[in-house]
Structure 1
Amino acid sequence: MSLTPRHDLRRTVPDLLEWVEDLPNTFAWPGPPGLRPFRLEEHQDDDAYVIRAELPGMDPEKDISIDITGDRLTINAERTDRREESDRSEFRYGRLHRSAVLPKGADATKATARYVAGILEITVPIAETPPESHTVPVTRG
């Protein structure tokens, strides 16, 4: 007979880890109440800014919208609860929202988005920007 309730501990640890992971968002998330964040990856190379969002189980044509206003890209998504009654669910339902600031030179008119295997990937081309300053040579005469 074991005195350690391993079964319950295995169920509790993921809940605890998720709670700790979400704690900063609980108190510091900017935006209207009721909107929850989701995970993002961002990277920029010479010619594009790419943002990837974890949005599994969504219909991209119905549940996801992307808006770019000025230098701010905003992803809105909504996951409705389609499940039958169950004893436990770790899925998140409701409205989800994240924003990111686009880099200088981003061309929002040429942005593209694709949704594959639960990952939304948005690519925003970056136009070549002239250098901020340059040196003007001085000649005699």
Structure 2
Amino acid sequence: MATLARKQRFPFPDLPEWFEAFPSRFAMPAMADLYTVRIEAYMENDRYVVRAELPGVGVEDLDVTVEEGMLSIKAERTEREVDKTHSEIRYGSFTRSVALPAGAKEDDVQAEYADGMLTVSVGLGEEKREARHVEIKHTA
């Protein structure tokens, strides 16, 4: 079986591949990616459930609100005062809002926080009726 020989033009054969990967190696993530709260949402029985990943946040630094069809999660991770040689942990305030489904009962909200996961569930009732068309009378 014949093997094709590849002629090297560069004294360092891995250098072209390194430059091809250059943007991905040194690209800065978008600011939204740095300070977003990652969530998953699903229906379970008669409840809408939102789970938020918030490691390293104390329960006293969490705030959950429901208003006008929106569920909002606010959190703050405080930086420890130590001399660091390296840190990839993001500190500061984080906020995430999610539109609640039709029929969500804003007065039936439960929240639990354990092992860095916040679980918020909202009771679901009957969906609101569809919009009703109103006849418009033309006047001259």
TM (norm. structure 1) is 0.67
Question: Can you list the C-alpha shifts for 1:87-129, whole angstroms capped at 9, x where unaligned?
Answer: 1111110000000000001011110000011000000010133
Question: Can you list the C-alpha shifts for 1:50-87, whole angstroms capped at 9, x where unaligned?
Answer: 00000011211x10001111101110001110141111
SS state at 1:51 partner: strand
User: Greater share of strand residues, 1 or 2?
Assistant: 2
Extract unaligned runs of 5+ from structure 2.
1-11, 13-23, 131-140
Q: Does 1:59 align with 2:62?
A: no
Q: Does 1:101 align with 2:99?
A: yes
TM (norm. structure 2) is 0.67
Conservation of the 8 A alpha-carbon contact between 1:46 and 1:126: no
SS state at 1:108 partner: strand
Q: How many residues align?
A: 109
Aligned Cα RMSD in Å? 2.8
2:25, 2:72 → 1: CA distance?
Answer: 29
User: Greater share of helix residues, 1 or 2?
Assistant: 1
Q: Percent identity?
A: 35
2:31, 2:63 → 1: CA distance?
Answer: 25
Give runs of ≥4 in structure 1 deviating > 4 Å. none
Which residue of 1 is the match for residue 77 of structure 2? 79
